[in-house]
């Protein structure tokens, strides 16, 4: 499944994912949400060692979920599909094996902040505003805005934005830990590419493993990380070679160190 409003460019070790819907402030509709998971799978299986995520234009990084896409849903469809599908898509982004850098080149509100929370590093341009206005519309921050956002930004930051309606400018957001770096308007992508080059100069495998362990420590994907790491160790052992050989030869395996 593809969507032309989500553009993926693979540049050797770098993947750049751009939301191209500036006329709607880069808001996501159901088709775009559905397209995110196969895009993440493509990134996972590529040679990319680092990923940059951004939005087209300078007005909005991402305005979150397109109100027109969900406001007509029944309560059941809203909960069962819109919210759960968004979670699945954002989980896929947050759990990419590659470090993910978000370039906040425009306002980052609601679901846009939940999208930015998926990143390992956030670079904001000076004109950006950050907040969680969902309760003002009668809904909750439903794409992990009360879960992953709390883990990434701290519970009090989420309280201030979601419960009390605070909106932060880029420099204050940096001071509070909502973003990691602030650059001048129009310089976000260049800054992200500089950071990406640092990642590319390091061991891809060690970086991937380190990200997995950090995610596990944060509670992002403990089960998958443990089983993935253990499976890798098992697959590298002589036991797997012997086990597969025994299966093919229809005999009892003789594992190293098993004794007689």
In whole angstroms, give the CA distance from residue 161 to residue 158.
5
Ranges 6-10, 27-31, 61-65, 237-241: which has the least confidence: 237-241
Q: Kindly state whether residue 165 falls inside one of the protein's structural domains.
A: yes
Ranges 86-100, 158-172, 244-258: which has the least confidence: 244-258
Which residues are known catalytic residues? 114, 134
Q: Residue 232 sits in which domain range? A: 204-249
Q: Kindly state whether residue 83 falls inside one of the protein's structural domains.
A: yes
228 and 149: one domain? Answer: no
* Nearest in space to 118 (alpha carbons), one of 43, 45, 187: 43
Of the three residues 181, 200, 219, the one that is the final residue of a domain is 200
Residues 6+ apart with CB under 8 A from 140: 134, 146, 162
- Total domain count, the chain: 2
Residues 6+ apart with CB under 8 A from 187: 125
110 and 233: one domain? Answer: no
50 and 144: one domain? Answer: yes
Q: Kindly state whether residue 81 falls inside one of the protein's structural domains.
A: yes
Q: Kindly state whether residue 260 falls inside one of the protein's structural domains.
A: no
* Residue carrying structure tokens 């009892």: 252
- pLDDT tens for each residue of 30-71: 999 999 999 999 999 999 999 999 999 999 999 999 988 888
Q: Kindly state whether residue 256 falls inside one of the protein's structural domains.
A: no
88 and 24: one domain? Answer: yes
pLDDT, residue 68, reads 86
Strands of the sheet containing 100-104, edge to edge, are 6-11, 14-19, 50-55, 100-104, 121-125, 181-183
Tokens of 81: 């599909």
Which is more confident, 256 or 97? 97
Say if residues 65 and 111 touch (Cβ distance below 8 Å): yes
135 and 232: one domain? Answer: no
In whole angstroms, give the CA distance from residue 53 to residue 100.
7
Q: Kindly state whether residue 254 falls inside one of the protein's structural domains.
A: no
237 and 163: one domain? Answer: no
User: The domain that contains 85 carries what CATH number?
Assistant: 3.90.226.10
Average pLDDT over residues 134-148: 94
Q: Kindly state whether residue 259 falls inside one of the protein's structural domains.
A: no
161 and 87: one domain? Answer: yes
53 and 112: one domain? Answer: yes
Element (H, E) at 16: strand 14-19
- Please state whether the predicted TM-score (pTM) of the whole model is above 0.75: yes
Q: Kindly state whether residue 88 falls inside one of the protein's structural domains.
A: yes
């Amino acid at each position: 499944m593809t969507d032309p409003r989500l553009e993926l460019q693979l540049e050797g070790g770098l993947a750049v994912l751009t939301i191209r819907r500036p006329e709607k402030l880069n808001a996501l509709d159901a088709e775009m949400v559905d397209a995110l998971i196969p895009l993440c799978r493509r990134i996972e299986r590529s040679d990319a060692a680092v990923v940059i995520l951004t939005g087209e234009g300078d007005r909005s990084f991402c305005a979150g979920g397109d109100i027109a896409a969900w406001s007509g849903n029944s309560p059941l469809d809203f909960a069962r599909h819109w919210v759960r599908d968004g979670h699945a898509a954002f989980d896929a982004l947050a759990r990419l094996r590659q470090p993910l850098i978000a370039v906040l080149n425009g306002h980052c509100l609601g679901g846009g902040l939940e999208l930015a929370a998926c990143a390992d590093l956030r670079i904001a341009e000076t004109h950006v505003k950050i907040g969680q206005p969902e309760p003002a519309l009668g809904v909750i921050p439903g794409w992990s805005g009360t879960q992953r956002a709390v883990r990434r930004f701290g519970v009090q930051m989420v309280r201030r934005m979601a419960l009390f309606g605070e909106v932060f400018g880029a420099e204050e957001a940096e001071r509070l830990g909502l973003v990691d770096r602030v650059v001048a308007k129009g310089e976000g992508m260049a800054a992200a590419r500089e950071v990406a080059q640092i990642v590319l100069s390091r061991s891809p495998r060690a970086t991937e493993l380190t990200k997995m362990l950090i995610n596990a420590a944060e509670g992002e994907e403990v089960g998958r990380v443990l089983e993935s790491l253990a499976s890798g160790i098992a697959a590298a052992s002589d036991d797997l070679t012997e086990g597969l050989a025994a299966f093919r030869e229809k005999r009892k395996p003789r594992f190293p160190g098993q004794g007689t």
